[in-house]
Structure 1
Amino acid sequence: MLNLQSPSFLRRVLLADAAAGAVTGLLMALGADTLESLLQIPAALLQSAGIALLPLAALIVYVATRQQPPRGAVWAIIICNALWTLDSFYIAFSGWISPNTLGQAFIVTQAVVVAVFAELEYFALRKSRALAAC
């Protein structure tokens, strides 16, 4: 069970975010051609998004492994996650690309997961500040 009051909760959420980003990034970067035929999402978009996730995941690991994750860096991660979520919904439903139903489900699912990470990071950041004030 998650201990939401634990000082290490923020670190754990960040590491989970980084792991999910790295796995998704590798899947999209290395499997773009296969995913394109399965999801009807252009391989170039999948590959470039996957490649973009890898340094972001590394940055999140770096932030998470600091003795005290810097608040500004955590805010930057939260904002990046929120923008990724908004961009994902735009891509899925704007008509810019034409993913099939499975492709839309893929985009929406990863967007929701990223939104949940942003929310958990925000919650953990607020909790860590409250714990520090005690």
Structure 2
Amino acid sequence: MTATSPLSGLFADGQRLLRLALRLDAVVTGANGLAYVALAGPLEDLLGLDVAHSRVIGAFLLAYAAAVWAVSVRPRRMAVTAVIEANLVWSVLSVVAVVTGWLSLSVVGGVWAVLQAMVVAGFAGLQYTAQRRG
């Protein structure tokens, strides 16, 4: 008798995995956006990101999170591909911002931006893999 993990079905079913990956992306992005909007002042001190930039980025992330959630409801190939590509662009631009000093981030802000880029690239990779399985 072979034991199977409850997760084995999730990873075998590309559509279920894709919905999960999109929804996880939407929740994490939304929480991040909410933090940028609601905690703009304290984040300026910690990350070096000025309040105006923080609020604009936060508002964008909230709108993007809503769009990603909407895509997760009925994942269509073109929409999912757009999410994957947007995630990759965000990841690259985050690293470029750190390397070029574009947003004048603190050291903590630079580390945060790179870690965030890695997470977003991870979402893109998971979404791409799930889409191929679906």
TM-score by length of 1: 0.89
Letter in 1 for 2:11: L
Q: Does 1:12 align with 2:20?
A: yes
Tell me how large the CA RMSD over aligned residues is: 1.2
Structure 1 segments, 4+ long, off by >6 Å, are: none
C-alpha offsets along residues 16-43 of structure 1, whole Å, 9 cap, x if unaligned? 0000010000001111111001111222
Greater share of residues in helix: 2
- Structure 1 residues without counterparts, runs of 5 or longer: 129-134
2:37 to 19, 24, 29: 29
Match of 2:66 in 1: 58
Gaps of 5+ in 2: 1-6
- Identity between Structure 1 and Structure 2 (%): 36
CA–CA separation in structure 2 for the residues paired with 1:49 and 1:120: 24
Residues matched between the structures, number: 126
1:120 pairs with 2:126: yes
